[in-house]
Structure 1
Amino acid sequence: MTLPSEADRFWTRSAIDLSRLSPPSPAHYAVGAVVVGPAGNPMATGYTGETDAHFHAEEEALAKLAGRGFDLSGATIYTSLEPCTTRKSRPVSCTELIMASGLRRVVLALREPLRFADCTGVETLLSGGIEVIEIPDLGDAVRDINAHVMGMQTT
């Protein structure tokens, strides 16, 4: 397993900070995502509910890049929570969107808890040949932000 770099930690914390912008809802997690190019430049950001209450963070970020001709094979998507594999409100999961985008690397802070769906994002991405790096020590911040859904008290 590859260890996260300082840049990985920085951009994952940035995704966590973005998640704070997500309107609180008992029906979804507050998630943030940042797509960063191979030169270390941010290409797009998104957070859950940014433009539509049903849109996930990864979906929001990738939509900003769609149709613009970017080669994302050298880019990384940083997300505060594991990309979903099951959606109730949309036809395509975030894992499928990531795989279709050409991204080859995903960094996340926390695997999705078994609350809304049985998520297998990490396994699905890995089986699709995409590198996945987890930074679990950043997970407490994600849990705190999502305490309203996870049934936990914030610290």
Structure 2
Amino acid sequence: MVRAITQDEDVRWMRRAIGLAALCPPAAGAYSVGAVIVAEDGTELAAGYSREADPREHAEEAALAKVPTGDPRLTTATIYSSLEPCSQRSADRTPCAQRILEAGILRVVIAWREPSLFVADCVGVEQLAEAGVDVVELPELAEAARAANSHLGLS
């Protein structure tokens, strides 16, 4: 039986993801994002943030790299990302929405939709939803997620 996740839990984990975004080294051409993967039992499996180990690394990519490929806990896990998972990247990097689908994660919680600053139209939420992923948006935390990106001059 799948355990129901409460709104309070979602908010708590998203605040953790937003806190991780504050650790990102600012970059003129990139968002500062935090991500946390939480197992069904409520334990943290992994966390990451943009540019944690590589200047081109995204938060979801960093977190997913810390969980073994095929780990059965991923199919019942939730990934919390302070920003909508990207739907396109340069040719040699897999978009985060695709990485989430490949990992088998069926629940994604975001705080903020990606603005059209670097990509004209991010459709990460739509791609995930079309693939059957339960996507939850916490717009009440979008401003906190934006704050970690003040270096980009977003209003």
TM-score normalised by structure 1 residue count? 0.91
In the alignment, is the contact (CA less than 8 A) between 1:19 and 1:30 conserved in 2?
Answer: yes
Q: CA RMSD, aligned part only?
A: 1.6
DSSP-derived class of the 1:143 partner: helix
* Alpha-carbon distance between aligned partners in 1 of 2:89 and 2:24, rounded to the nearest angstrom: 18
In the alignment, is the contact (CA less than 8 A) between 2:77 and 2:106 conserved in 1?
Answer: yes
Name the structure 2 match of 1:54: 56
In the alignment, is the contact (CA less than 8 A) between 1:143 and 1:150 conserved in 2?
Answer: no
Instruction: Write the letter of the residue equivalent to 1:141.
Output: A
User: What are the residue-to-residue correspondences of 1:11-50 with 2, within 5 Å?
Assistant: 11-50=13-52
In the alignment, is the contact (CA less than 8 A) between 2:70 and 2:103 conserved in 1?
Answer: no
* Alpha-carbon distance between aligned partners in 2 of 1:18 and 1:56, rounded to the nearest angstrom: 12
The 1:151–1:5 alpha-carbon spacing in structure 2 relative to 1, beyond 3 Å, is closer
Select the residue among 136, 144, 149 that pairs with 2:147: 144
What is the count of residue pairs matched by the alignment? 150
Moved more, 65-74 or 80-89: 65-74
Name the structure 2 match of 1:88: 90
Name the structure 1 match of 2:135: 132
Name the structure 2 match of 1:120: 123
The 1:89–1:46 alpha-carbon spacing in structure 2 relative to 1, beyond 3 Å, is farther
The 1:150–1:121 alpha-carbon spacing in structure 2 relative to 1, beyond 3 Å, is farther
1:73-96 deviations in whole A, cap 9, x for unaligned? Answer: 110000100000011274210000
Q: Kindly report structure 1 stretches of 4+ aligned residues shifted beyond 4 Å.
A: none
* Alpha-carbon distance between aligned partners in 2 of 1:48 and 1:26, rounded to the nearest angstrom: 13
Identity over aligned residues, as a percent? 44
* Alpha-carbon distance between aligned partners in 2 of 1:150 and 1:114, rounded to the nearest angstrom: 13
* Alpha-carbon distance between aligned partners in 1 of 2:91 and 2:6, rounded to the nearest angstrom: 32
Name the structure 2 match of 1:67: 69
Q: Which runs of 5+ in 1 are unaligned?
A: none
Instruction: Write the letter of the residue equivalent to 1:137.
Output: E
* Alpha-carbon distance between aligned partners in 1 of 2:154 and 2:77, rounded to the nearest angstrom: 35
Instruction: Write the letter of the residue equivalent to 1:145.
Output: A
Q: How big is the shift at 1:127?
A: 0.1
Q: How big is the shift at 1:51?
A: 0.4
